[in-house]
Chains A and B, each alone.
Chain A
Amino acid sequence: MTKYRFLLLTVLLSACTAKTDSTAELTAVLDTPLNATISWHDTTPNTAGHAVEFATDPNGEYTTLQFAPVEQTAYQHPDLIPATTFYYRVRPYSGPTAEAREITLPPGELDDATQATDHGWMVPTTVPGSTTTESLRAGGGTPTDFHATIMHANGIRFTWTDHANDEDGYLLEVKAVNTTTFTPVAVMDPNINSTGLITLPTEKTATYRVRAFYWGKTSNTAHVKSGPDPDAG
């Protein structure tokens, strides 16, 4: 094999097998021509969950499909765009949470009159008063003073004290009644310590907490190519 053919082969092989030193191992399979299942195994200690991401270009841009809690190790991606290669990866995230709060909202729908009121409290903001001197990666930075204020029958404002100086962001997580798992419902930038949430009808009673998080090492990339368009003539 000539030097140049060897170099070409090396380039091609490196493009198909994106290596990583992450402990998260990912596989992707087509269950049907237009439905895929992504599965992962991760031995990273103290992982809180994984962001499941996809792209249709081997060089990204990756889009988050779900922030999956740590108990979840698979994701089903249905009704795929036909004849398209999907690239998948997972990013583990870690970090401590503030003490959770259970909130029961008053009855009532999200009517037009309510929606017409001022909802400036929903915008993620940084309220002065936090002292951010602790490192999450060193085991500190737990958010404290987590408060939930009912703004109306379908809206809650959350505030907390930010102690971390190296977070990649904050996650607001919810656990609905009769469930055992917290699920992220909002992602916020670093240094945010106030945000609002409009609840879903299933969240009249639910438990909330906020997590200061940082990213771990991204998994390998796995890909599948979806089948042909069933509507094509």
Chain B
Amino acid sequence: MFAFHVAAAVATEGTKMSRLLSRVRVFALAAAALAGMGLVGAPSAQAQVESGNWISYSPSYTVQQRGCGVANGLTFQLTCSTASGDQRAERRYANYSGSAARQFEGTFRVSSLAGTRISLKQTFNDSEPGPYYMLAVERGGRLYAVEGGATIATGATVGTSVRVNTVHRIGNNHKTYINGSLKYTVSSPGGNFYDKFGAYRTSSGQGPATVVWSGVKFWHL
């Protein structure tokens, strides 16, 4: 976007400059249209983290609402305190595999948590049962815990937004960054994986909960 503004600033007269501006405008419109369809990766997008020629893409997804789970855009709610059964409101994204690294970015805000141990983001190995990676919130939103790992954010300020970045190198490792800092690294097997985010009752948790996500982006190398 910044490069486009610079090109527009200098292209004020002359056929050569007008053609440059036209090509930039057409390129921006075409890329936006195709990226929205999830068919073509856009050029290296702004705000991806780590080094590399990251390509932004928009994987397809389905919305899962079970039990008292309600999804409305990027707002996910568990409206009950039922401590059993399948209670979830999530987006389930398309599978991915292969050697190219995958990156996820999103920001969540727990606007209310009268329950506990609510999963916010999961990565599943589709070749094995259960989540390979899970980020959950507990203790009224003051702690974040990771599947198989220690609590990673003690004393979090309830009601603020939290930024999550994950970088997954299949067959190597999966890293989680919370608010820009590395918090958890786990080795990764090979296989076929998929991402989910929203609000989901873990086996020892319950709602009610309301989680609002924003700024969700995906990239791959």
Q: Which A residues contact B (CB, under 8 angstroms)?
A: 4, 7-8, 11-12, 15, 54, 56-59, 61, 63-67, 77-84, 86, 110, 112, 115-116, 118-124, 155, 184-188, 196-198, 200, 228-229, 231
Q: Taking the complex as formed, is B62 at the interface, i.e. its CB lies under 8 A from any CB of chain A? A: no
> Which interface residue of A110, A116, A186 has the most chain B CB atoms within 10 A?
A186
- Which applies to chain B's interface (DSSP): helix, strand, loop or mixed? mixed
| Contacts from B to A (Cβ < 8 Å) | 1-2, 5-6, 9-10, 12, 46-47, 49-51, 81, 83, 107, 112-116, 139-142, 154-155, 157-163, 165, 173, 177, 179-183, 204, 206, 208, 214-215
Contacts of A80 in B (CB 8 A): 180-182
Distance in Å: Cβ of B136 to nearest Cβ of chain A: 13
A-B pair number, CB within 8 angstroms: 121
Closest to B206 in A: A116
With a CB–CB cut-off of 8 A, which chain B residues contact A66?
157
Is the beta-carbon distance between A81 and B180 smaller than 8 angstroms?
yes
Contact between B115 and A119, CB atoms less than 8 A apart: yes
Chain A residues whose C-beta falls within 8 Å of the C-beta of B183 in the assembled complex = 79
A86 touches B157 (CB 8 A): no
Are the C-beta atoms of A8 and B114 separated by less than 8 Å?
A: no
Contacts of B2 in A (CB 8 A): 15, 58
A8 touches B140 (CB 8 A): no
Instruction: Choose from B49, B112, B154, B161 the contact partner of A63 (Cβ within 8 Å).
Output: B161
Let me know if A54 and B180 touch, CB within 8 A: yes
Nearest neighbor of A192 in chain B, beta-carbon distance: B159
Q: When A82-B50, A112-B204 are in contact, do A186 and B139 touch as well, CB less than 8 Å? A: no
Q: Are A187 and B157 in contact, with the CB atoms below 8 A?
A: yes
Tell whether A198 pairs with B159 under 8 Å between CB atoms, given A8-B9, A15-B2.
no
Q: Are B180's CB and A56's CB within 8 A?
A: yes
Q: Told that A122-B113, A185-B142, A200-B142 touch, could you supply 20 new A-B pairs with CB distance under 8 A?
A: A11-B6, A12-B6, A57-B47, A61-B107, A63-B163, A65-B180, A83-B50, A83-B51, A84-B180, A115-B115, A116-B83, A116-B206, A119-B115, A122-B112, A123-B208, A124-B159, A185-B158, A187-B160, A200-B155, A231-B173
